[in-house]
Amino acid sequence: MALDRVAAIVVAAGSGTRLRASAPKALVRVGGKPLLLWAVEALTVGGVTELVVAAAAERIADFTQVLASQPVPARVVAGGASRGDSVRNALAALNATAAPPDVVLVHDAARPLVPPEVVARVIAAVQDGDVAVVPVIPVTDTVRQLAASGSTVVDRSILRAVQTPQGFRRDVLTAAYAAPAFANSTAVTDDATLVERLGYAVRLVEGSPSAMKVTTPHDLVMVSAMLEV
């Protein structure tokens, strides 16, 4: 299988409660561009050739307009109540097309500065035969695990923090989201976990501190600063 067509699902339907901005988080501007466009640019430079963006239903027109300025085919669909619901809706839209792509990346719009090299690395790993690929970075903080009484330090050398974009064979991701036992799973915060529950191995590749997620106002300051260096 050639696996040469690569789509990305960009989840951008969250409310951005913790950022406390007046606009949806994905439309908040940094360095003169909405977070969404930074993310899309990194994906396309990294090798993605089509996009499905999940947005809040009442914002579909705004998102469509923002995406008009970028070069690859992009559709905007209504997201859902949880991140997983948003991925599921976007994946359904992708699967409904006449010739769906072989490889699907799932990326948070809230990670605007993911380096294109990370995107390319994820794509290459899927094309080389891994069905689920996750970028990770080492944990730099010392981590403590809470116990019933007190706490203990965890060996951080065996921990990795998970980022996006995560890459999948489209058929495998579709099967994971279709599995009835997981259909309403709210405890799942990433897509690879669903695929893993089907019994597939998850391959880790090197992520980047630049792929940090914008969650709080402080994160936005960090991202602005990163654009200046």
Interface pick for ligand CTP out of 1, 2, 17, 180 (rule CB under 6 A): 17
Provide the sign of the torsion angle of the four alpha carbons 10, 15, 21, 23, taken in this order.
positive
> What residues contact 85, with CB distance under 8 A and at least 6 apart?
79
CA 95, CA 104: separation in Å to the nearest integer?
A: 11
* Contact assessment for residue 69 and residue 40, using Cβ atoms and an 8 Å cutoff: no
Share of the chain residues as helix, strand and coil, in percent rounded to the nearest 5 = 40, 25, 40
Does residue 54 bind ligand CTP (CB under 6 A)?
A: yes
Does residue 11 bind ligand CTP (CB under 6 A)?
A: yes
The DSSP call for residue 9 is: E
Does residue 76 bind ligand CTP (CB under 6 A)?
A: no
Interface pick for ligand CTP out of 2, 15, 184, 199 (rule CB under 6 A): 15
Binding segment toward ligand CTP, per CB under 6 A, in 5-13, 61-69, 176-184, 200-208? 5-13
Q: How far is the CB of 162 from ligand CTP (least distance, A)?
A: 12
CA 25, CA 2: separation in Å to the nearest integer?
A: 36
Binding segment toward Mg ion, per CB under 5 A, in 11-19, 90-98, 138-146, 190-198? 11-19
Does residue 14 bind Mg ion (CB under 5 A)?
A: yes
Contact footprint for ligand CTP (CB under 6 A): 11-18, 25-26, 54, 79-83, 86, 108-110, 213, 215
